[in-house]
């Protein structure tokens, strides 16, 4: 059946997303109150930033899934959520398949306070939720009114941010018309001065004066791993860092983000480290952060994680390598652990 007169049917595209998140609440109070998690998102869909909100009414604890971009329509949502106990095993998992064309906020977890108190899920006052979600989004609306479109064009500013990001991503991949070379431990990266200076005050200062780097159109960098710098450069151009990178080397990314004055990326790394601690991240913090490292103050979270899950950390290949290559570092870590128990 053709669309009604005055209506224009648009093409739609469905994008499938799989998202995982872990939410520790460090000082959970068992009485009435509320908590909100930090925002999280998937690299395929950075336009939607999700967060969890916990409400305790005194008799029941409920968790709601919300998005920072309200009223965005979802094609379907499947949620798996629960609490991690002392052994990091999933306690009271709850699964939901939410209705088609759902809107946030969405209730995803409900437990009686008495059951929670009797469980073994509190670890030194901390309660940790695990959260897994599958969903799809409709990229365009199915129907669009011609008349309302014309009116909206006069009322709202034209938004082509998605196209702009796509062009910047293409520019990052091709480096067409690049005018600057960055040599990182023998590996060369092409770039554009204008973009580097716009996104980073560090590079802006470099190009503002007749420095050697500005005159020769190249710079030597020896204190950063090439793989880490590649992710930093990707972020400078696209505003994105891959989820796997943030999971595997957030402390390394944070240090370089601090050096190049990328405050938003630095803040995101700090959030990732605190709220998504793992055996690998914990060990990276403990082994690679010194007193003057920008992530040094986050070591307390790593020490606490190591104290609770030392078996997992010491079972990693990185710990075995550290024992063999840097036994003094391992000894320092164990001393910090002993201090935290006193």
- Mutual angle of helices 279-288 and 317-325, in 10-degree steps: 20
Buried b vs exposed e over 226-250: b needs ≥16 C-beta within 10 Å? eebbebbbbbbbbebbebebbeebb
Measured in degrees and rounded to the nearest 5, phi and psi for residue 63 equal -120, 135
What is the reported pLDDT for 312? 83
What is the reported pLDDT for 5? 46
Which residue intervals of the chain bear CATH 2.60.210.10? 12-138
What is the reported pLDDT for 144? 37
Buried b vs exposed e over 19-49: b needs ≥16 C-beta within 10 Å? bebbbbbeebeeeeeebebbbbbbeebeebe
Architecture of domain 12-138: Sandwich (2.60)
What is the reported pLDDT for 155? 44
Q: What is the pTM of this model?
A: 0.50
What is the reported pLDDT for 135? 77
Mean pLDDT by 10 residues, the chain (342 residues): 46 71 76 75 78 83 78 71 85 76 73 80 81 74 39 46 78 94 96 95 93 95 92 90 76 88 83 74 76 76 80 83 80 72 56
What is the reported pLDDT for 280? 76
What is the reported pLDDT for 147? 38
Which residue intervals of the chain bear CATH 3.30.710.10? 163-341
What is the reported pLDDT for 32? 57
Rounded Cα distance, 24 and 275, in Å: 6
What is the reported pLDDT for 156? 46
What is the reported pLDDT for 13? 57
Rounded Cα distance, 295 and 268, in Å: 12
CATH of domain 163-341: 3.30.710.10
């Amino acid at each position: 059946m053709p669309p009604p007169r005055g209506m224009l049917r648009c093409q739609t595209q469905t994008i499938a997303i799989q998202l995982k998140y872990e939410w520790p609440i460090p000082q959970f109070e068992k009485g009435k109150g509320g908590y909100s998690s930090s925002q999280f998102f998937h690299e395929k869909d950075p336009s939607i930033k999700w967060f969890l909100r916990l409400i305790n009414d005194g008799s029941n604890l409920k968790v709601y899934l919300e998005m920072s971009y309200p009223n965005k329509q979802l094609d379907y949502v499947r949620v798996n959520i629960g609490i991690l106990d002392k052994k990091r095993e999933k306690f009271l998992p709850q699964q939901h398949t939410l209705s088609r064309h759902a809107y946030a906020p969405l209730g995803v977890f409900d437990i009686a306070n008495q059951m929670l108190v009797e469980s073994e899920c509190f670890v030194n006052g901390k309660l940790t939720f695990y959260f897994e979600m599958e969903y799809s989004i409709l990229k365009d609306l199915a129907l669009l009114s011609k008349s309302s479109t014309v009116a909206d064009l006069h009322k709202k500013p034209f938004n082509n941010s998605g196209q702009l990001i796509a062009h910047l991503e293409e520019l990052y991949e091709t480096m067409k018309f690049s005018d600057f070379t960055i040599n990182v431990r023998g590996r060369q990266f092409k770039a554009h001065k204008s973009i580097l200076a716009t996104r980073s005050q560090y590079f802006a200062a470099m190009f503002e004066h007749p420095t050697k780097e500005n005159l020769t159109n190249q710079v030597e960098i020896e204190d950063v791993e090439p793989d880490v710098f590649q992710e930093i450069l990707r972020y400078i151009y696209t505003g994105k860092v891959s989820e796997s990178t943030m999971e595997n080397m957030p402390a390394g990314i944070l240090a370089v983000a601090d050096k190049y004055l990328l405050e938003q990326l630095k803040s995101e790394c700090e959030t990732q480290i605190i709220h998504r601690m793992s055996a690998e991240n914990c060990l990276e913090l403990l082994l690679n952060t010194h007193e003057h490292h920008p992530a040094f103050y986050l070591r307390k979270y790593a020490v606490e994680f190591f104290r609770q899950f030392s078996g997992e950390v010491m079972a990693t290949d990185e710990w075995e390598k550290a024992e063999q290559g840097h036994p003094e570092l391992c000894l320092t870590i164990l001393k910090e652990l002993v201090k935290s128990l006193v």
